[in-house]
Amino acid sequence: MVDVGGLELTAEDREILAHPLVGGVILFTRNYRDHDQLRALCDDIRGLRAQRLLLAVDHEGGRIQRFRVGFSRIPAMRSYGARHDEDAAMAAAGARDAGLAIGRELAAFGIDLCFAPVLDVDHGVSGVIGDRAFSDRGDVVTTLARAFRSGLQAAGMAATGKHFPGHGAVTADSHVELPVDRRAESELRAIELQPFAALIADGIESIMMAHVRYTAVDETPASLSRKWIRGILRRELGFGGAVFCDDLSMGAAAVVGGLDERARLALAAGCDMLPVCNDRPGVVALLDALKDLRPNRAASARLQRLYLRDTGATA
């Protein structure tokens, strides 16, 4: 999954997006000016190939909302967690409404995924997660994430739970360096995995991995770990949906080597799609380095189930 530089596609963008190993595009704030421009860009991307590209954007609400002017301003998910302490039913209704608004507004442009909800439990130490998490309690995260997902579903949009197995108890920012969580495996399972296990049992469509090392389980970061992905996520929790690596250009992933090494580790571990953002030279080099690979049919089938269902939405 790659990005594009501006408000419309360049000749280089088109060449990159035509590559058989590219399966999706992630949009950023720089790709949005107004509704007409965004619609034209998305239509252009979707029309490039017979098997169209998956379109995604980080659009959680709060700090992480790429499109703002002309879109509903969605509050940080923590606001629903705070409301839950006073009125659980009202908080769940608000979270569902947020998911519905995000889903409807993005669906109007043919965008398939908003990369939400955040299923991390906030332990009060992670600046990069913070109020993106619904709560510091796993049961509240589960309740509100279920409500949020129901709103997305009503708009025809699949959900992506992140960041497995939980990013909320580490201080380091994985965009810059590799966070390390040294807690016992029993604690991780009892607290961090609770919302993921519940949403997986519900049938959540996709999961995004965390660039975090959990030393009690595996020295390899979870995003690149066979034990976490093929073992715990797939075999133990029974997850059958699509697995996204977190952005391979992030500093936390660099501990294992260059983009080539990161990508091969992620694929071997069981990731279905590898976002590589804000590094066009890296994308070009990576596609060349991986030219011996062939598209994975099983991964492609899982990813195809994420395409937006037609709801007739307009904007």
Mean pLDDT of the chain, nearest integer? 95
* Closest to 162 (Cα-Cα) out of 183, 141, 181, 147: 141
Distance CA 36, CA 315 (A): 9
Q: Above 70 in pLDDT, residue 310?
A: no
Residues of the domain holding 139: 11-304
Give me the number of domains the chain comprises.
Answer: 1
Burial of residue 315 (CB within 10 Å: 0-12, 13-18, 19+) is middle
Confidence of residue 180 (pLDDT cuts 50, 70, 90): very high
Q: Above 70 in pLDDT, residue 288?
A: yes
Beta-strand pair 59-61/64-65:
antiparallel
Query: Is 270 part of any domain?
Result: yes
Beta-strand pair 59-61/206-209:
unpaired
For 240-259, what is each residue's pLDDT tens digit? 999 999 999 988 888 888 99
CATH assignment of the domain containing 225: 3.20.20.300
Q: Which residues are catalytic?
A: 175, 246
Distance CA 69, CA 98 (A): 17
For 111-131, what is each residue's pLDDT tens digit? 999 999 999 999 999 999 999
Q: Above 90 in pLDDT, residue 295?
A: no
Lowest pLDDT segment from 76-80, 187-191, 218-222, 310-314: 310-314
